[in-house]
A and B are shown apart, each in its own frame.
Chain A
Amino acid sequence: MFELSRQVGAAGKPYRDTFADTLIDLMREDERVVMFEADLGGASLSTKIRDAHPERYVQVGIAEANMMGMAAGLSSEGLVPFVHSFGPFATRRAFDQIFMAGGYAHNTINIWGSDPGFTAGANGGTHTTYEDVALMRTIPGAVVADAADAVQMAWTLKAFAARGGINYLRTGRKESFQLYAEGSTFELGRGNVVRPGEDVLVVSAGQLLKDALAAADALDDAGVSCEVIDMFCIKPLDVDLLVAEAAGKRAVVTFENHGVIGGLGEAVASALLEAGVTPPFRRHGVVERFGSVGTPGYLQEEYGLTAADLVGTVRALLG
């Protein structure tokens, strides 16, 4: 069960501090948990994990393919590996290792891909992924999640540790916001209605929920009642919730820090179409573009992923 924070939208604990603190806890509670890093410990703050649990911290160097294969092999001996790299290197670059040594061989790799989409910021287009969700969704049995805040991120990491298999979590590293109250719990495969509404349904995930909620407020002010679902678990998808909440709406819009091919939007579209629920629909995301450099704020505007952009899409769809 979840409750919203009393300060929704306020600054939250940085994602990377949440990652390090949660892994340190997990490793204290469970001696099977092992952390792999590919020379980005200073960026992810997994150096804190190294200092707390040096005997179960594995530095592989700049070698993501080897890291994924090693994590898979290590899991076949009953240990529980977590790995980190920036989103593109944690997915695109080592995809076949995740797929074959991990998924196909029924091994476990828990992956944190940091700084997806525009949050790559100054690291630029070479370090940006708008495709990670699309790739990871294709792995049979994989869980793909995009956590909104510290509370949800910590819960998701713990759920991964208990699950086994290929589990992928994408979040930014630094700037975060508050959405959920401490102690909230979630369920893999279950979305959350974080804002009720009658006319329009917005389905989003991750950091963009802050903007989705701001857009919903703006629409409300203009007389359009807007519901917002946090679909933090993109796979498996909460089809029942989508079908129930989309039915009777005048418009459904998905809103993602990701390309429109293979992401949350396509997953939601497929589910609704197959269920025969077909309100006017738009995927609001990145269309046929690579990443580029700038501040996250600049990039969010450049790629059309602000609250104002979402409001525009909803209004256009309502006609």
Chain B
Amino acid sequence: MNEQTERAATLLAAKLRKDVLVMLRHRGYGHVGGSLSLVELMADLYAHHLRHDPADPTWQGRDRIVLSKGHAGPVMYSVLAERGFFPREWLLTLNDGGTRLPSHTDRLKTPGVDATTGSLGQGTSEAAGIALALKMKESAAYTYLIVGDGELNEGQCWEAFQFIAGRRLSRCIVFIDDNKKQLDGPTAAVLPGFDLAQKMSAFGFMTQRVDGQDIRAIDAAIDAAKANDASANCIVLDTTKGAGVAYFERAADNHSMKWNNDEIRRATDEAVLALEAQIKGGEQDV
């Protein structure tokens, strides 16, 4: 990753973080924690790795993306809007009746969304099917599958992982957003997942564990995954739920929050101002 790409990805990350906060503050509720933990991954994918064409969202040569933790829709919508898949005005329609941006990502509603997800675990199999179809068609496209750590409670994930690894679908790159929290509390308390990287290695993945809020580290891990076609690839992202905004990182129940008090509204406004300053500086750099 060269410096110019890194600067572009860092700038994009600031924009995504701001968009997520603006969307959710406007809506008054939403899945903030698990959207913010994915900001750096999404920024790196769309700034560097993921082949896409906003003018032709179903372009056959594109890389596919399956956000199996579909409740992180806000970060997906933010990056799609930033890349020009649809007008930015749509962002403020999140969850409105008739919106193109539902709470959980839907391939029929939103340009740039390749799979309908939200019923947790199911995106893993959909991604396996997509990756298998691409392999059958001898396509060079990658399938990027993003799974939550809490989502791994679902047994279906392990059925799909067994297939992806067993059939060496090396162009299906699995990201685990290990943000260590789920709806009812810390993942370790709700249902201990043990060592996710060890588990994925045991399943047959070449597994890397990186700082999931470090764009350069994520980018290098994706490079390494792309260079490995001997096995399936997994990148465990060591992330923080609510990442990048101290208030949300500290909040105990940050899976889904309500903007129903002055404290959360003030914290959001301050974060948005800081991000706007960062974006302004970043734009001058780029």
Q: Chain A residue with minimal CB distance to B133?
A: A77
Indicate if the CB atoms of B119 and A74 lie closer than 8 Å: no
User: Separation in Å of the A7 CB from the closest CB of chain B?
Assistant: 42
Q: How large is the interface on A (under 10, 10 to 19, 20 to 34, 35 or more residues)?
A: 20 to 34
Complex Cα distance, B125 from A101, in Å, reads 9
Indicate if the CB atoms of B128 and A69 lie closer than 8 Å: yes
A-B contact count (CB 8 A): 99
Q: How large is the interface on B (under 10, 10 to 19, 20 to 34, 35 or more residues)?
A: 20 to 34
Indicate if the CB atoms of B114 and A70 lie closer than 8 Å: no
Instruction: Knowing A55-B136, A65-B159 are in contact, say whether A97-B108 is a contact too (CB < 8 A).
Output: no
Instruction: Knowing A66-B156, A97-B156, A106-B108 are in contact, say whether A73-B162 is a contact too (CB < 8 A).
Output: no
Q: Chain A: residues with CB nearer than 8 A to chain B?
A: 34, 55-56, 58, 60-61, 63, 65-79, 81, 96-97, 100-101, 104-106
Q: Chain A contacts of B125 at CB under 8 A?
A: 65-70, 72-73, 97, 101
User: 18 new A-B pairs (CB below 8 Å) besides A69-B128, A74-B132?
Assistant: A34-B136, A56-B136, A58-B132, A63-B163, A66-B156, A66-B163, A68-B125, A69-B124, A70-B160, A71-B129, A73-B66, A73-B125, A76-B130, A97-B156, A101-B119, A105-B108, A105-B116, A105-B126
User: Separation in Å of the A239 CB from the closest CB of chain B?
Assistant: 29
Q: Chain A contacts of B127 at CB under 8 A?
A: 73
Q: Chain A contacts of B159 at CB under 8 A?
A: 60-61, 63, 65-66
Indicate if the CB atoms of A61 and B160 lie closer than 8 Å: no
Indicate if the CB atoms of A69 and B114 lie closer than 8 Å: no
Indicate if the CB atoms of B130 and A63 lie closer than 8 Å: no
Complex Cα distance, B66 from A77, in Å, reads 13
**B159-198 interface (Cβ within 8 A of A):** 159-160, 162-163, 166
Q: Chain A residue with minimal CB distance to B126?
A: A73
Complex Cα distance, B160 from A41, in Å, reads 20
Q: Is B51 an interface residue (CB 8 A)?
A: no
Q: Is B266 an interface residue (CB 8 A)?
A: no
Q: Chain A residue with minimal CB distance to B166?
A: A61
Complex Cα distance, B118 from A76, in Å, reads 17
User: Separation in Å of the A200 CB from the closest CB of chain B?
Assistant: 46
Instruction: Knowing A76-B107, A77-B133 are in contact, say whether A66-B116 is a contact too (CB < 8 A).
Output: no
Indicate if the CB atoms of A73 and B128 lie closer than 8 Å: yes
12 intermolecular pairs with C-beta atoms under 8 Å apart: A56-B136, A65-B155, A66-B125, A66-B128, A66-B163, A72-B125, A73-B115, A73-B125, A73-B132, A100-B119, A101-B125, A104-B116
User: Separation in Å of the A201 CB from the closest CB of chain B?
Assistant: 41
**B104-156 interface (Cβ within 8 A of A):** 106-108, 114-116, 118-119, 122, 124-130, 132-134, 136-137, 155-156
Q: Chain B contacts of A105 at CB under 8 A?
A: 106-108, 115-116, 126
Complex Cα distance, B128 from A77, in Å, reads 12
Q: Chain A contacts of B155 at CB under 8 A?
A: 65
User: Separation in Å of the B129 CB from the closest CB of chain A?
Assistant: 3
Complex Cα distance, B130 from A79, in Å, reads 10
Q: Chain B residue with minimal CB distance to A69?
A: B125
What 0/1 pattern do residues 46 to 62 of B give for CB contact below 8 A with A?
Answer: 00000000000000000
Complex Cα distance, B125 from A65, in Å, reads 8
Instruction: Knowing A73-B127, A73-B129 are in contact, say whether A79-B136 is a contact too (CB < 8 A).
Output: yes
Q: Chain B contacts of A67 at CB under 8 A?
A: 125
Indicate if the CB atoms of B134 and A77 lie closer than 8 Å: yes
Instruction: Knowing A63-B163, A70-B126, A74-B132 are in contact, say whether A96-B119 is a contact too (CB < 8 A).
Output: yes
10 interchain residue pairs of minimum CB distance: A69-B125, A73-B129, A70-B129, A73-B126, A105-B116, A77-B133, A66-B159, A74-B129, A63-B159, A74-B133
